[in-house]
Amino acid sequence: MDRRRHLALSASLLATLPFSGLLAGCAARESAPDVHYTLLDGRQANLAGQRGKVMLVNFWATSCTTCVHEMPNIIATHEKFKGQAFDTLAVAMSYDPPMYVDNFAKSRQLPFNVAIDNTGAIAQQFGKVQLTPTTFLIDKQGRIVKKFVGEPDFASLHQLIGELIAEKSA
């Protein structure tokens, strides 16, 4: 087989392979927007202030059954990695009544920060998030590593978080 035909065959075989971690490491990561938000307790914060940590940003709503179903796993993920350069931010959608969000956070004893996107600006800056749950995993440099629409596979998510925590900060 001549070299050109061999290269063409190799390229076509690579194109049919599922996207793997090996290839994912080569992909450029898009910067997460530096959103500013107000937490339920009234404190102001911004995403840039979280640099140096791996961040899980979860867009959710109290009226979303999948969001409510996945929340114990989001809590467990937060608990597993807290104290290891990791944090979680739950962003309630603009249509979610603030009183419902506050009651949900208190009754479930959410151990992470919760923001209400009153104006929809945070969802807009993250690429017009409309479906819930939508979750973004952000590396220590503030770059989006992965976007999940719907409930993630938490075993795979935990593995990826562990890898990102282990990465050296640039």
DSSP alpha helices (H): ranges in the chain?
3-16, 21-24, 65-81, 98-107, 121-125, 154-166
In a domain? residue 107: yes
The C-alpha atoms of residue 148 and residue 114 are separated, in whole angstroms, by 19
- Range of the structural domain that residue 73 is part of: 30-166
Going 36 to 159 to 83 to 64, the CA torsion angle's sign is: positive
pLDDT band at 19 (very low <50, low <70, confident <90, very high): very low
Tell me, what CATH number does 162's domain have?
3.40.30.10
Q: Which two tokens stand for residue 43?
A: 């404190």
- Looking at residue 146, its pLDDT comes to 97
The C-alpha atoms of residue 145 and residue 57 are separated, in whole angstroms, by 12
In a domain? residue 117: yes
Mean pLDDT for 11-23 is 34
Write the burial class of residue 164 (CB in 10 Å: 0-12 exposed, 13-18 middle, 19+ buried).
buried
Mean pLDDT for 1-26 is 37
In a domain? residue 7: no
In a domain? residue 25: no
Residue type (1 letter), 90: A
The C-alpha atoms of residue 146 and residue 27 are separated, in whole angstroms, by 11
pLDDT tens track for 29-70: 899 999 999 999 999 999 999 999 999 999 999 999 999 999
The reported pTM is 0.83
In a domain? residue 24: no
Residues 6+ apart with CB under 8 A from 160: 137, 145, 146
Mean pLDDT for 140-158 is 97
In a domain? residue 13: no
- Looking at residue 168, its pLDDT comes to 82
How many domains in the chain?
A: 1
In a domain? residue 12: no
- Looking at residue 18, its pLDDT comes to 35
In a domain? residue 135: yes
